[in-house]
Amino acid sequence: MRILKRLLLVAAVLVVVVAAFAACLVRGGFRRFETAPYPVHPAAFTNWNDVLAHPRDISLTTFQTGVVHMDPCLNLDPASPRQADCDHAPRDLPVLVHWIHHPKFGDFLIDTGFDDSFAKHPPYGSYTEAMKLFNWGNGVTNGQEPGMDLAAQLTRLNVHPTAVFFTHLHPDHTGGVSALAPQTEFVIGKAEASFLARAAVANHFPANAKFLSIDFSAAPLMPPLGPCVDLFGDGSMWAISAPGHTDDDMAFLINGESPVLLTGDASHFAWAFKNGVGPRGWNDAGTARGRVSLERLRAFARAYPNVRLIYGHDKGQP
């Protein structure tokens, strides 16, 4: 009996230790983000023919803040019959940031890429312990040349963004937040800041960070895409609901003189888009939603071949 009691005590201690370790890994998930609704403007147009027939004075500049070195197929739908055709050779995938300039509303970013911690402390920079462990277990590393980080790029461009629109809350898209002014606003999908998302990225944001959320449940449908929001009310920049890879993933259309569709990680790179292989989600339900989102984006690309595509980790063709 005494031996049994000792074994039970040891087991209880191990359970407490493991639980404490797990809680430490995901402690960011317990943090709540201060969130307010994004002020949605009435849409200037109700269909893509009219949108694209009226390009606006808005510019897009895409630049790279580092690389993720990985098997590019790791984040793709594992149930896709085309997985076997995917090149599983690890390579560098660019970590992209998009600068939007609007002559009336100013400067904005889509995603923030990496800060300089990825050059100073390779290979995981400012990742949480949980994300370091996850990436290490999957053979994923990061790279960055000095001067490639977000702060250095914004200084060279003389850009002072007032807000960031995030395609989704993954650390390779939020890792540059420390380079931004304290008053910067962060815009996400309403359902995006789940426990797992917060556990992965909460450490990138200041304690008083202000988040605005886009509620796609109230947004109009814009076939062949789903719910879409005219962000400035002038048809220049659209947020497109593309859930699957995460709970409330977004794509964006920049309706300038040469329109561009930014897929975000609703499609990571050109091969996956062209072959109809969706992104991997948090779970099977998310992966299934990702297939739907990808097919909507592909249908849009077929209907409007003049719109340039930039993928989540692939600049596509100029």
Residue 233 in domain? yes
Q: Which two tokens stand for residue 197?
A: 């998302």
The answer on 107 and 23 residing in a single domain is no
Pairing of strands 210-214, 185-189: parallel
Contact residues for 206 (Cβ-Cβ < 8 A; gap 6+): 177, 182
Tokens of 300: 């849009």
pLDDT at 316: 82
**Is 64 found in the same domain as 206?**
yes
> Per the domain annotation, does 317 fall within a domain?
no
In a domain, 316, yes or no: no
Asked if the structure places residue 269 within a domain, the reply is: yes
Tell me, yes or no, whether 24 and 159 share the same domain.
no
Q: Are residues 23 and 44 in the same domain?
A: no
* Same domain? 3 vs 101: no
What is residue 6's predicted lDDT score, i.e. its pLDDT?
63
Q: How far apart are CA 84 and CA 54, in angstroms?
A: 42
Quick one: 172 and 293 in the same domain? yes
Which candidate, 154, 74, 82, places its Cα nearest to that of 113?
154
Answer yes or no: is 124 within a domain. yes
Count the alpha carbons within 13 Å of 23 in the hemisphere toward its beta carbon: 7
Six token digits for residue 99? 């600068």
Query: Do 67 and 210 sit in the same domain of this protein?
Result: yes
Cβ(224)–Cβ(299) below 8 Å: yes
- CATH number, domain containing residue 277: 3.60.15.10
147-157 burial code (b ≥16 CB/10 A, e <16): ebbbebbbeee
Q: Which domain holds residue 24?
A: 1-30
DSSP, res 42: P
E-state strands within the chain? 34-37, 59-70, 91-102, 106-110, 141-143, 163-165, 185-189, 210-214, 228-230, 237-241, 250-254, 260-262, 308-310
The answer on 281 and 257 residing in a single domain is yes
- Residue 54: C-alpha distances to residues 152, 230, 257 (Å): 35, 14, 9
Regarding whether 276 and 217 lie in a shared domain, the answer is yes
Per-run averaged pLDDT (10 residues), the chain, 318 residues: 59 48 58 92 96 98 98 93 89 97 97 97 94 93 97 97 98 97 97 94 95 96 97 98 97 98 97 96 96 98 98 86
Q: Which residues contact 263 (CB under 8 A, 6 or more apart)?
A: 242, 251, 273, 297, 309, 310, 311, 312
Is 107 part of any domain? Answer: yes
How many domains does one find in the chain?
2
Q: How far apart are CA 286 and CA 292, in angstroms?
A: 10
Query: Residue 239 is encoded by which pair of tokens?
Result: 């947020």
Distance CA 236, CA 59 (A): 9
Q: Which residue has the tokens 């269909």?
A: 47
In a domain, 318, yes or no: no
Q: What is the pLDDT of residue 225?
A: 98
d(CA 227, CA 219): 5
Same-domain status, 9 and 135: no
Buried b (16+ CB within 10 A) or exposed e, 205-236: beeebbbbbbebeebeebebbbbbbbbbebbb
Residue 315 lies in a domain: no
What is the pTM (predicted TM-score) of this model? 0.93
- Is 22 found in the same domain as 77? no
197 and 92 within one domain: yes
Task: Give the pLDDT of residue 16.
Answer: 45
